[in-house]
Amino acid sequence: YREILLESVAETSEEFMDRYFEGDEFSVTEISAALAMNVQEGSIVPVCMGSTLDLRGVSNLLDDICSYFPSPDKRACNGIAQKTNEIFEANYDFTKAKSAYVWKSIVDPFLGKYSLIKVCSGVIKSDDVLYNVEKGNEEKLNKLYVMEGSKPQEVAELHAGDIGAIAKLNSVQTGDSLATKANPILYPKTTISTPYTYKRYKAVNKGDEDKISQALSKMMSEDLTLKVVNDSANRQTLLYGMGDQHLDIVCSKLKERYKVEIVLSKPKVPFRETIRKNSDVEGKHKKQSGGHGQYGHVKMRFEPSGDLETPYVFEQVVVGGAVPKNYFPAVEKGLQECVQKGPLASYPVVGVKATLYDGSYHTVDSSEMAFKMATILAFKKGFMEASPVLLEPIVSMNVTVPDKYTGDVMGDLNKRRGRVLGMNPDHNGNTVIEADVPMLEIYGYSTDLRSMTGGSGNFSYEFARYEQAPADIQQKEIAARANQSEEEDDK
């Protein structure tokens, strides 16, 4: 490693390069100066070893930060003045209007929330009123702190270039800019990585759901790469993070900080249901139990609409008043209820065209409820007679890996039923593989990719479309949903 370090030093100037090839030794001062230059340029990234548990290497790390990292006055810090839309050169100048950037939030279960800030210009005092440029509201400061480890130490003011903390600014979030209302300055937000690893979670103890939700909300304000999504169609709540280890840490924090526990499991895939053929059916709801009865009768045609982004299309071509127009909304309400939970496997329905063309009614017994029930009967029958199928979500993936791993990664994508669409070199020794892959097959992909590439690969994806799932996948999923329904009925 020392040889690599000396090569990096030699590359900083022609004089050093000549001396390196001549076999001259560099002094410690020359190595330190060259290392500082490389670090500031971003051409090398130093790795410092140590342990916080027994304080090994901590003092060395602090010394290295002081010696090699760029001082605030050596680095430009620019924002946008909102009133003039011109660049504001803050540059950590004490004499300019006060402004700061919120780069992190910490929520302590006992002490509350701390907003960690970098003061970009001016001097911020504990009794100041700052303007949240992002939110458009003023914030009255309480106390200012500098953090010594996890312990806040109160200070009277923070100067340009300082990293400090402000307590109990509940509406302030990571990425916000703070300034004065007279001189609102907006700083660019830090790019946050998109979380792609996700798992389903459930509370270990019933009754803890609200506590868990509140705890996760606090943790998300601290960690912008953590996300919770409620998948109502599959009756599951999903927890997104940067990897399996990230999600495991979240579970540990919930247990240690907030005294609640969750269990993670494989999430359900959001399948959809549709039809491939046409059907012509009728639905009749007739009930007589003394007094007014119930009567609704519809004749309907069902066919593919060709639009998998819309649940259904409804048309009425009734002639002669066989079904009065005032019952058309009731028929559509029946359709709306049916498409939320399809007859095949209880997944949402897409891409169906329903046409009401005939029926009958009773002047006394017919009602909106009766026609709604008749429509539900017709839909279930017509859907199952029109070659129903399950659709699976397809995602478009970009996988970036070193060239030497390209073959292994492509082989793995093929095993996952993926379709490789292209391979593009990025001219840095990496290849970007573009592929369409079923969402069902990408669960756990971050761990597998890390294993295949020694941690040097990364990927991103986004939803692309729905496609008909293979027959074996459909059969397996339909059977699983049927078993699930039986278990829920038993409960």
Q: How far is CA 304 from CA 301, 312, 335, 351, 353, in A?
A: 10, 9, 15, 6, 6
Same domain assignment for residues 91 and 166: yes
Residue 365 lies in a domain: yes
Same domain assignment for residues 306 and 404: no
Residue 321 lies in a domain: yes
Residue 480 lies in a domain: no
Indicate left, alpha or beta for 387 from its phi (over 0: left) and psi (-120 to 50: alpha): left
Same domain assignment for residues 415 and 359: no
Residue 158 lies in a domain: yes
414 contacts 420 by C-beta, under 8 angstroms: yes
Residue 479 lies in a domain: no
Q: Tally the domains of the chain.
A: 5
Q: So what's the pLDDT on residue 289?
A: 72
Same domain assignment for residues 293 and 343: yes
Q: How far is CA 120 from CA 99, 100, 152, in A?
A: 6, 5, 21
Same domain assignment for residues 323 and 335: yes
239 vs 228: CA distance, rounded Å: 5
220 vs 426: CA distance, rounded Å: 33
Task: Report the 10 Å Cβ neighbour count for 471.
Answer: 10
SS3 185: strand
Residue 148 lies in a domain: yes
Single-letter code of the amino acid located at 463:
F
489 vs 159: CA distance, rounded Å: 64
Same domain assignment for residues 281 and 372: yes
Single-letter code of the amino acid located at 478:
I
Domain's final residue, options 325, 360, 386: 386
164 vs 178: CA distance, rounded Å: 13
254 vs 473: CA distance, rounded Å: 36
Residue 110 lies in a domain: yes
399 vs 410: CA distance, rounded Å: 10
Tell me which residue has tokens 């970098």: 118
Same domain assignment for residues 170 and 201: no
SS3 236: strand
Closest alpha carbon to 81 in 73, 71, 89: 89
Strand 78-81 and strand 185-186: pairing?
Answer: antiparallel
Same domain assignment for residues 47 and 7: yes
Domain's final residue, options 132, 157, 186: 186
Q: What is the mean pLDDT of each run of 10 residues along the chain (491 residues)?
A: 76 81 84 84 83 87 88 82 95 94 89 91 95 94 88 93 91 94 95 91 94 94 93 89 93 95 94 97 87 90 95 94 94 96 94 97 91 97 97 96 94 96 90 96 92 92 96 94 69 52
SS3 308: coil
297 contacts 361 by C-beta, under 8 angstroms: yes
Q: So what's the pLDDT on residue 149?
A: 78
Strand 236-241 and strand 272-275: pairing?
Answer: unpaired
SS3 82: coil
CATH number of the structural domain spanning residue 233: 3.30.70.870
Residue 293 burial class via C-beta count within 10 angstroms: exposed 0-12, middle 13-18, buried 19 and up = middle
Same domain assignment for residues 211 and 260: yes
Q: So what's the pLDDT on residue 109?
A: 77
421 vs 436: CA distance, rounded Å: 7
Element containing residue 477 per DSSP (H, E): helix 471-490
For residue 116, give the DSSP letter: E
Same domain assignment for residues 113 and 172: yes
Same domain assignment for residues 378 and 404: no
> What are residue 203's DSSP bridge partners?
262
Residue 477 lies in a domain: no
| H-state helical runs in 341-470 | 368-384, 406-415, 445-453
For residue 71, give the DSSP letter: P
Domain's final residue, options 154, 186, 218: 186
Same domain assignment for residues 402 and 370: no
Domain membership of residue 165 as a residue range: 78-186
